[in-house]
Structure 1
């Protein structure tokens, strides 16, 4: 079994989460490949999908939405997990409690029937926002930094690994980059 951990990322936060999920899956013996969805040619080579996107204005990035649109029929036949990365969990309070899930995800719940959708906090640096965006973010009491919760992400990836059918373990893995992605907050054991 080969799992695509596909992503659309603007500043690298979502990419880091996707790489971490692929790494955890590989550590459990599941062949997993993290790659930008815009770079995926034949999605039919994958047996399961973990798809994620940064969220801007309550929507997934266009590359991720296009990937799902192009592969809708295939995605309805295979196991799919979705994750969104945004600021609602960083800002917290009212903003987190009242932020709906991305528009596409609501629609895809019916069409694709994903096993699960998770929302993770991302990373945000001041230079990621234009001047007006910085002002609005300050008014929401937003903070800058890396807010990814790596233990939460690891646990979710392990849940995905346990959910895959028996007999999916393999001794080899495929990666779309270095064998081990950047540390992403992992502590050495």
Structure 2
């Protein structure tokens, strides 16, 4: 009795479609989502990076990565609406989530708040979606991104403007996602 050889990871990946959906305001979340999708494609997966409002049919995807900018310690409303709309499918097929805030900009005693921010921002999403993984990435912060009050708070906390995106961290996480998707581990399996 002969059996067909197992398809290579590359062949399996070419048949696997991953959605990287995002909600952002100033471009950091979009750039991170696009980077994740590019790394997934490098690993042989079919990956689309789309703003949440541009996603029509979730059923055409086999796995999901969803991210949002964090404003006032919360995901953006359009991102929350999107994850609630697709929650059942995300849980069934597997989802990874990411948040884009400013933990790398925190200095001194404020640095300790980064871990608390992640729990506050993503805790309810983790309970609801049971994601395969979550990351809190840092984005870009410029004076024009903040209100006058926001700029005063930023200075009072000793924060600095700048580009805090850590591309090596984003790339490593995307490769981990690709390995999990190509390995076929189900939701709740190793990520």
Partner of residue 50 from structure 1, selected from 65, 69, 78 = 65
* Higher helix fraction (1 or 2): 2
Distance 2:85 2:42 in 1: 30
Contact map agreement 1:3 1:30 (CA 8 A) in 2: yes
Name 2:170's counterpart in structure 1. 153
Q: What CA deviation, in whole Å up to 9, does each residue of 1:88-114 have, x standing for no partner?
A: 222144333223326462122222210
Extract unaligned runs of 5+ from structure 2.
Answer: 1-15, 185-191
The 3-state SS of whatever aligns with 1:143 is coil
Question: 2: CA distance between counterparts of 1:117 and 1:52?
Answer: 9
RMSD of the TM alignment (CA)?
A: 1.5
Residue 135 of structure 1 aligns to a residue whose secondary structure is: helix
Equivalenced residues, count: 167
Deviations 1:41-68 (A, max 9, x none): 1111111011101001110001110001
> Normalization by structure 2: what TM-score?
0.83
1:101 is matched with which residue? 118
TM-score, with structure 1 as normaliser:
0.83
- Corresponding residue of 2:189: none
- Residues of 1 paired with 2:117 and 2:163: CA distance? 22
Deviates more, 1:81-90 or 1:25-34: 81-90
The runs of 5 or more residues in structure 1 that have no matched partner are 168-189
Q: Deviations over 1:125-176 (max 9, x none)?
A: 1111111111110111111111100011111111111111448xxxxxxxxx
* 1:2/1:48 contact within 8 Å kept: yes
- Conserved in 2, the CA contact under 8 Å of 1:2 and 1:47? yes
Check if 1:123 corresponds to 2:121: no
